[in-house]
Amino acid sequence: MDNLESNYIDISFALLKRLNRPLIFDVYVKRGENSFSKIFKKGDLLDFDRIRVYEEKGIDVFYVTEEEHSLYCIYVEKLGEVLNERAQSFKPNEAHEVLKELSQHTLKEIQETLEVSSASIKNAKNVVDGCIRRVSKDPKNVIKVMKLLSHQPYQLKHSVSVSMFAVLLAIADGMESDLNIQSVGLGGFFHDIGIGQLTFDPEDQKFLTAEQRKEMWRHPELGKEMLKQVKGIKSDVVQIVLQHHEQPNGHGYPNGLRGPEIYYPAKIVAIAYAFCSLISKKSYREAYPVSKAVEKLKEDHGKYDKKILETLTKLVLPNF
Ligand SMILES: [Fe+2]
Ligand SMILES: [Fe+2]
């Protein structure tokens, strides 16, 4: 047993197995409630025969210490870059693992620091480009990535699934420019980062008090403020974050914009988040089945752009 005082964080087995150079962090397995053993040390090459023995024993979760987790994150960031340079060198499950681990690391950093660094923007672009590639191959890959994220905190699942659905919707809606599609994906990924600055977690509650509702209305502005100064972010991504709760009927927030005044990509993200929110289980209700979720969005007419809603219907009913 080592490092008794440390906390341990699980790492992706599929990604660990891709490592073909000496380790830059120690790797542990869990022996019991609070006991971990070091099985590989820094500088070692992975011993695949030993890994196979662990697999045969049913051990397929490996850990790093909290202190060395940032070294593992560097490895994940690097994989995000490789994924976009040489996507063909990844098996589909490995690509999905990179997307999960990289988005988790990127959003956690933002939540903890309440700041967006230019490194976070770069990582988010790698996530979004990877997502674009996966969903263009097969829209059902969204479901695979969502499954991988199923045990993660709500905001993380929500950001990644909204990003992927927004990309799918943009493509289905006829958006052609790769850069515009990337902006929609980034807008989806970052749309709710302002929520981290609120004094409460809106996802835990079915109803908000008047006070909380007022605070909630500020999250698009807060998100915009977090993003607008960062190097490498385009202004259309900032506009999406600011406008994702505007409604064509003028009843949205923060500015009560009407139909054509709302930025079109923000309307796409608005439908993607509303749909993703309905098909997710909340602490106070079950998840809506896909067809019921579409029906519900259509009942709320006025809140959403009609044309994009039609595109969503044609997209999700046959595919999901
Ligand atoms: Fe929001
Ligand atoms: Fe949202």
Q: Which residues surround ligand 2, an ion (CB under 5 A)?
A: 192, 273
pLDDT of residue 212 exceeding 70: yes
* Ligand found nearest the CA of 245: 1
Sign of CA dihedral 310, 315, 316, 318: positive
With beta carbons less than 8 A apart as the criterion, state whether 308 and 267 touch: yes
Query: Please, where are the H alpha helices in 173-289?
Result: 178-190, 210-216, 219-228, 235-243, 264-278
Cβ contact 96:141 at 8 Å: yes
CA 177 to chain centre: 22
pLDDT value at residue 4? 57
pLDDT digits (tens, 9 = 90+) for 271-295: 999 999 999 988 889 999 999 999 9
pLDDT cut 70: percent of the chain above it: 98
Q: How far is Cα 102 from Cα 72, in angstroms, rounded to an integer? A: 11
pLDDT at 64: 96
pLDDT: which is higher, 318 or 138: 138
Question: Which residue is listed with tokens 């589909």?
Answer: 92
Taking the centre of ligand 1 as the mean of its atom positions, its distance from the CA of residue 219, in whole angstroms, is 7
Confidence of residue 97 (pLDDT cuts 50, 70, 90): very high
Cα–Cα distance for residue pair 164/161, rounded to 1 Å: 5
Confidence of residue 6 (pLDDT cuts 50, 70, 90): confident
Produce one character per residue of 94-116: b if its CB has 16 or more CB atoms within 10 Å, e if not. bbbbbbbbbbbbbbbbbeeeeeb
Q: Which ligand is nearest to the CA of 277?
A: 2
Q: With pLDDT > 90 as the criterion, what percentage of the chain qualifies?
A: 80
Instruction: Work out the pLDDT band at 202, boundaries 50, 70, 90.
Output: confident
User: Which residue is associated with the tokens 């005044």?
Assistant: 261
Q: Is 229 or 247 the better-scoring residue by pLDDT?
A: 247
pLDDT at 282: 86
What pLDDT sits at residue 67? 94
Domains by residue range for the chain, with CATH: 1-71 (no CATH), 91-319 (1.10.3210.10)
From CA 275, how far away is CA 222, in angstroms rounded?
23
Q: Please calculate the CA angle 18-19-22 and round it to the nearest 5 degrees.
A: 165
Neighbours of ion ligand 1 (CB under 5 A): 192
Ligand 1 centre distance from Cα of residue 76 (Å): 28
Tell me the mean pLDDT in the region 258-265: 96
**What are φ and ψ of residue 3, in 5° steps?**
45, 60
pLDDT of residue 204: 77
**Span 145-199, pLDDT tens digits:** 988 998 888 889 999 999 999 999 999 999 999 999 999 999 999 999 999 999 9
H or E element at residue 31 = strand 27-32
**Longest CA pairwise span in the chain (Å):** 63
Give the ligand whose atoms come closest to the C-alpha of residue 220. 1
Distance 64 CA to ligand 2 centre (A): 32
CA of 318 to the centre of ligand 1 (A): 27
Closest ligand to C-alpha of residue 216 is 1
pLDDT computed for residue 5 by the predictor: 66
Q: By 3-state DSSP, what share of the chain in percent is helix, strand and coil, each rounded to 5?
A: 60, 5, 30
pLDDT for residue 284: 87
Of the listed ligands, the closest to the CA of 203 is: 2
Q: How far is the CA of 206 from the centre of ligand 2 (A)?
A: 15
**Are 182 and 128 spatial neighbours (Cβ–Cβ below 8 Å)?**
yes
pLDDT(318) > 90: no
Where residue 229 falls among pLDDT bands split at 50, 70, 90?
A: confident
* Residue 85, φ and ψ in degrees, nearest 5: -90, -40
Indicate the pTM of the whole model: 0.92
* Cβ atoms 222, 206 nearer than 8 A: no
**pLDDT (0 to 100) of residue 2:** 52
pLDDT higher than 70, residue 3: no
Q: In this structure, how many other beta carbons lie within 10 angstroms of the beta carbon of residue 58? A: 7
CA of 17 to the centre of ligand 1 (A): 37
